[in-house]
Amino acid sequence: MARIDDAQLADAIEEFERDGATVLRGVVDLELLDRLGTAIDRMMAEGTSGHDRKTGGGRFFGDVYTSAYDPEFRHFVDTVGLAGIAGELMRTNAVRFFYDQLLVKEPGTDARTPWHQDRSYWPVTGDQILTTWIPIDAAGPDNGVVSYVRGSHKWDRFFPAQSFGSPNGSSLADAQAENTVYDDPDGPGLRTLSDVHRHPENYSYATWEVAPGDIIIHHPMTVHGAAGNASNNRRRRAIALRWLGEEAYWDDTRPHVFRRYKDDPRFPYPSLAQGERMVDPAYPLMWERTTASA
């Protein structure tokens, strides 16, 4: 497990449970991050994988499940040592790796990450699902760090998935012009994605300046989003690693982003029945609580 002292961990658990997001400083090895950064740059230069978009003056590049086919990404997932931290924050006894997502916002891109909840996109229910968002470059509000609506993981609301790839998801102006992005089925009112978007003053946000080595952690129901990268020269490369605890259950009743991988042998897909725990070779076990860590 990455090095973290007991006081730092206790503070992080308290903030995570109260706000739905927290930050940990200096927990990722910098050489490992450099190595990942080189792999990302190679992948972006090759242009043979990932999803590439040029929006505004800069590039928005991303990929999902990169670790399934690129050994450098797999090496990062296997050695970064964050599964134990995820286990402590989820208060679970076993942690499985769910998947990774690469999100690069180059200087000048106006590609906004719309406000959303992650669980809407996933075939999972349960409380023990967690994301570690790992910046490879220093990130802050000017180059598109992610912001979290404090306490939104406890709203008891479920917002259907919206397309990030459609034009109306690509910039704040587009989203405002085409309000389908933020049309909540519950209609107008407090605690909806559209209200967060239109009336940011109604909410409190957790937003951090982060440096390489830091990680941001968030709950699957926390409403979050990010601006484009408005800087001239500050890249924003980040990788999100998603983790599953014991209380995470397969839920194939709704549309979700993984269906597209079902018949593609390059990607893991589970053989789980509706409602089963996410215990499957597609989600390798990465950490188990021992008596010493209990």
Ligand X SMILES: O=C(O)CCC(=O)C(=O)O
Binding site for ligand X (CB under 6 A): 103, 113, 118, 131, 133, 146, 224, 226, 238, 240
Q: Which is nearer to ligand X, 16 or 133 (CB)?
A: 133
Q: Which is nearer to ligand X, 39 or 216 (CB)?
A: 216
Q: Which is nearer to ligand X, 73 or 293 (CB)?
A: 73
Q: Which is nearer to ligand X, 87 or 144 (CB)?
A: 144
Helices (H), 81-239: 83-90, 172-177, 193-198
Q: Which is nearer to ligand X, 261 or 289 (CB)?
A: 261
Q: How far apart are CA 112 and CA 233, in angstroms?
A: 18
How big is the CA angle at 280 (ends 259 and 219), to the nearest 5 degrees? 70
Q: How far is the CB of 222 from ligand X (least distance, A)?
A: 9
Q: How far is the CB of 20 from ligand X (least distance, A)?
A: 12
Q: How far apart are CA 291 and CA 184, in angstroms?
A: 46
Residue 56's CB: how many other CB atoms inside 10 A? Answer: 19
Q: How far is the CB of 112 from ligand X (least distance, A)?
A: 8
Q: How far is the CB of 118 from ligand X (least distance, A)?
A: 5
Q: How far apart are CA 206 and CA 183, in angstroms?
A: 24
Q: How far is the CB of 143 from ligand X (least distance, A)?
A: 11
Q: How far apart are CA 21 and CA 237, in angstroms?
A: 20
Q: Which is nearer to ligand X, 130 or 278 (CB)?
A: 130
Q: How far is the CB of 129 from ligand X (least distance, A)?
A: 11
Q: How far apart are CA 283 and CA 111, in angstroms?
A: 30
For 14, residues 6+ apart whose C-beta sits below 8 A from its C-beta are: none
For 5, residues 6+ apart whose C-beta sits below 8 A from its C-beta are: none
Q: How far apart are CA 41 and CA 275, in angstroms?
A: 39
Q: Give the single-character DSSP code of 167.
A: G
Residue 39's CB: how many other CB atoms inside 10 A? Answer: 19
Q: How far is the CB of 35 from ligand X (least distance, A)?
A: 20
Q: Which is nearer to ligand X, 68 or 279 (CB)?
A: 68
